[in-house]
Chains A and B, each alone.
Chain A
Amino acid sequence: MKLACTFTAVWLLASSQPLFAHTPLFDCFDNGDDTLTCEGGFSDGASATGVGVRMVDAQGKVLEQGKLDAKGSITFKRPAGGFSVVFEAGAEHALTVLGDDIT
């Protein structure tokens, strides 16, 4: 339920963007090998290559950061404690996925 609620929040945030502006979309998956992969994109199909992604802990400290590759993807090592991953597609386009929701 927590996962569903959190992601719904992400979805609502995303869908609150102006109509016809490209809406950012973002999700992460656990790879089962102590890494996780995140993917980003836009609702109009625009490439997210080069968009920044940062992993932060519960206090907001940056643990890792990088940019999406040509496939709109980036892989991080999964940290031990609580964390979240932020898709930095502009000031009004930041999306966050909580670590607990990354399965």
Chain B
Amino acid sequence: MQPRPLQLKALPLLLGIALGAVAIPAFAHFLVVYTPQTALVRATDLPFHLVFTHAFNGGPSMAMDKPQRFYYAKRSAPNEQIEEVDLARYLEPIQWAGEQGPVSAWKATVPRNVVRSLGDYQIVVEPTPYLEEAEGLYIQQFAKVMVNVGGVPGNWSETLGLPAEIHSLNKTYANWTGGVFRGVVLGNGSPVPYTQVEVEYLNHDLDVANNTFVADGKIDAPHPSLAAIVILTDANGQFSFTLPKAGWWGFAALSVGPENEYNGKPLSQDAILWVQATDLPQ
């Protein structure tokens, strides 16, 4: 499937700029899978918020149906099979507040006893496709975030066979600010050369008590291209990005999955990966 052309999606942005409106790139959709800390010394309850939004700008957010799947994949020992544990039972619908009014989103508290073992947890959200009426297509973003308990590495470098997936070449939970993160974009399990990867900083903290983003962002991007950064994979589908600031960085590869139609409309199957950067202690 051909990638969704940026040129088309840039049109609303250009119109927005021309009209003096807030410049929110229409292509910058991100399924945010937020949990406060992914490098855990000891197991604890894991809170999650799932919000389909524009990460850098903290909105506008889009209504999100209940995910088709929400689970983790873990390998308990080097020679053991990867185990998938369904987490959908912990999902609760919420209304996520924003300037355009509340939209449906989800939260979950995964109890400690479900995530108590040492090692890596690849947490996956396979959402129900979202109809982006402005673009006349459905968007389905397969999103991953990893949590490590206790420092014992596990399956962080393994792929899960998602239709659209970013293969992590670094631990997503173990990155100092200024470090280089590397990944490979996979479509139906194969590397996707020279495809666009959008990189966005989660610029607005989540106010999880009030189900909204904190109004003030951490960065004022002087140019739209620095809010929604676009890079290309190389001939092997690999990309790298230096993480310039502590916090969450989202990587999105658009339209790399094999399915291209849903409910009679075009479908974009995207891959999302969230990476947490940590400042060096003073």
Q: Is the CB of B153 within 8 A of A43?
A: yes
Cα(A11)–Cα(B41), bound, Å: 8
> Would you give the 0/1 interface string for B66-90, flagging 1 where the beta carbon is closer than 8 Å to chain A?
0000000000111110000000000
With an 8 A cutoff between CB atoms, is B154 at the interface?
yes
Q: Is the CB of B154 within 8 A of A45?
A: yes
Q: Quote the shortest CB–CB distance from A18 to chain B (angstroms).
A: 16
Cα(A40)–Cα(B151), bound, Å: 10
> Would you give the 0/1 interface string for A60-100, flagging 1 where the beta carbon is closer than 8 Å to chain B?
00000000001111000000000000000000000000000
Collect the chain A residues with CB atoms within 8 Å of residue B150's CB: 25, 27, 39, 41
Q: Is the CB of B116 within 8 A of A29?
A: yes
Collect the chain B residues with CB atoms within 8 Å of residue A45's CB: 78, 152-154
With an 8 A cutoff between CB atoms, is A34 at the interface?
no
Q: Please count how many residues in chain B sit with their CB below 8 Å of the partner chain's CB atoms.
A: 18
With an 8 A cutoff between CB atoms, is B4 at the interface?
no
Collect the chain B residues with CB atoms within 8 Å of residue A39's CB: 117-118, 150, 152
In-complex Cβ contact of B78 among A8, A43, A47, A73 (8 A): A47
Contact A71/B77 with A25-B150, A25-B151, A27-B42 known, Cβ cut-off 8 Å? yes
Collect the chain B residues with CB atoms within 8 Å of residue A44's CB: 153
> Would you give the 0/1 interface string for B147-179, flagging 1 where the beta carbon is closer than 8 Å to chain A?
000111110000000000000000000000000
In-complex Cβ contact of B119 among A29, A41, A47 (8 A): A41
Which of A44, A45, A47, A49 is most buried by chain B, counting CB atoms within 10 A of its CB?
A: A45
> Would you give the 0/1 interface string for B120-163, flagging 1 where the beta carbon is closer than 8 Å to chain A?
00000000000000000000000000000011111000000000
Q: Is the CB of B118 within 8 A of A27?
A: yes
With an 8 A cutoff between CB atoms, is B231 at the interface?
no
Q: Is the CB of A71 within 8 A of B80?
A: yes
Collect the chain A residues with CB atoms within 8 Å of residue B41's CB: 7-8, 11
With an 8 A cutoff between CB atoms, is B232 at the interface?
no
With an 8 A cutoff between CB atoms, is B43 at the interface?
yes
Q: Is the CB of A29 within 8 A of B43?
A: yes
Residue of A nearest to B112 (CB): A29
Cα(A44)–Cα(B154), bound, Å: 9
Q: Is the CB of B116 within 8 A of A71?
A: no
Q: Is the CB of B152 within 8 A of A25?
A: yes
In-complex Cβ contact of B151 among A8, A23, A73 (8 A): A23
Q: Quote the shortest CB–CB distance from A68 to chain B (angstroms).
A: 10
Cα(A47)–Cα(B29), bound, Å: 40
Q: Quote the shortest CB–CB distance from B54 to chain A (angstroms).
A: 37
Which residues of A from 42 to 65 have beta carbons under 8 Å from B? 42-47, 49
Q: Quote the shortest CB–CB distance from B70 to chain A (angstroms).
A: 24
Q: Quote the shortest CB–CB distance from A21 to chain B (angstroms).
A: 14
Collect the chain A residues with CB atoms within 8 Å of residue B119's CB: 41
Collect the chain A residues with CB atoms within 8 Å of residue B43's CB: 27, 29
8 examples of A-B residue contacts, CB within 8 angstroms: A27-B42, A27-B150, A45-B78, A45-B153, A45-B154, A47-B77, A70-B79, A72-B118
| Chain A to chain B: the 5 pairs with minimum beta-carbon distance, closest first | A41-B152, A45-B153, A71-B77, A71-B76, A39-B118
* Given A29-B113, A43-B151, A71-B77: 18 more A-B contacts, CB < 8 Å: A14-B151, A23-B151, A25-B118, A25-B150, A27-B42, A27-B150, A29-B116, A42-B152, A43-B152, A43-B153, A44-B153, A45-B78, A45-B154, A70-B79, A71-B80, A72-B76, A72-B118, A73-B117
